[in-house]
Amino acid sequence: MYDLVDYTVIDISKKEQDYREVKQLLSQANLDLDSQVTVFMVAKVNAKIIACAGIDHNIIKCVAIDPNYRGNQLNLTLMDHTIKYANESGYFHLFLYTKPENIDFFKGCGFYPIVEITDLVVLMENNPVGIRLYCKQLSTQQKEGNKIGSIVMNANPFTKGHQYLIQYAASQCDWLHVFVVNENASQFSFDTRLKLVEDGTKQIKNVTVHASSPYIISRATFPTYFLKDKAKIDRAYMGIDLLIFRNYIAPTLNITYRFVGTEPCDEVTKAYNEAMSYWLENKTVSDHSAITVVEVPRITEGDTIVSASLVRKLLASGQYEEVKKLVPSTTWDYLSANLDKFKI
């Protein structure tokens, strides 16, 4: 029967029938269709889709197999074709998120667990030593000191608020590691954001700015298709991101503190700040050393809280003099040279 299976790549945004079949197949597996993936490797029998695996850059998502075809060689062959297609597209280091009960299946397909949130999600990669190799490379950036701090930021764009947070944290530490989130779902590209942070912190001598890796998880790339409850989605995303930091990144660089600005406005960011205390400081969620979370009050410009979202809003409406008050001169130099990019 399996000689008749045809494996092919489809884009479900281009054909309504493919879209309906994939969505129905996912529904049978109690999965939603992830909005970020349209390209699928599918298995067909007599032109009917019986299995699918979504490919979103280097992340495999939305794997589902018709119940009548599960538990046989079809599973492995589907994943083999999916991995081969990802490789041909230039992606060799692959990740996938799945439910913990699927760990053994994906192990059989050559994936290895990195971190698990009990009963919710596990993050896996197709390299048994991938994260350890990353930590080995990261270890070359180790610095001496009794108090090593860290900040993770998007800096979209880099403001006086970000600069103040880094200056304050650096003043409290022997060394400070700043990680700029590496994803391009922001208005400002990663390369631009990284350069703005580097330029805006050159005067601070005990700071290393890192181009963060795929192991610092972006909310923009975290899949939600297999978790129905928003609270569970948030817990899973925050837990995965923060446990990777605690279990791998922090021990590699001897980090014992993580600094974050207070969040009076954005509820999502506020919830993430609160989650830090649980996942980084609670001794019951990890065998690795706890990391002390330090919340630093946001600075203001007059009565206005300095934030990147406000800068983006002011840029879009052409209020450049107000923008200039909220960003370091290094950021303004870039913005003023590229104003046409930010107009509505």
What domains are defined for the chain? 2-95 (3.40.630.30), 132-342 (3.40.50.620)
Cβ neighbours for 170, distance < 8 A, ≥ 6 positions apart:
149, 176, 204, 206, 207
What's CA 117's distance to the chain center, in Å?
A: 16
What pLDDT digit, counting tens, does each position of 306-324 carry?
999 899 999 999 999 999 9
For the chain, 344 residues long, give each residue's pLDDT as a single digit of tens: 455 889 999 999 999 999 999 999 999 988 888 888 999 999 999 899 999 999 998 999 989 899 888 766 888 899 999 999 999 999 999 999 888 888 998 999 999 999 998 888 899 999 999 999 999 999 999 999 999 999 999 999 999 999 999 999 999 999 999 999 887 666 889 999 999 999 999 999 999 999 988 888 766 556 655 556 666 777 888 899 999 999 999 999 999 999 999 877 667 777 888 889 999 999 999 999 999 999 999 998 888 889 998 999 999 999 999 999 999 999 999 999 988 777 65
Distances (CA, A) of 107 to 41, 64, 79, 122, 267: 19, 16, 11, 12, 37
What pLDDT digit, counting tens, does each position of 182-232 carry?
876 668 899 999 999 999 999 999 999 999 888 887 665 566 555 566 667
Q: What is the pLDDT of residue 1?
A: 47
SS3 category, 220: coil
Q: What is the pLDDT of residue 304?
A: 85
Say if residue 157 is preceded by a cis peptide, omega within 30 of 0.
yes
CA–CA separation, 19 vs 27, rounded Å? 12
CA–CA separation, 149 vs 207, rounded Å? 9
Cβ neighbours for 68, distance < 8 A, ≥ 6 positions apart:
50
The model's pTM is 0.89
Q: What is the pLDDT of residue 121?
A: 86
Q: What is the pLDDT of residue 218?
A: 66
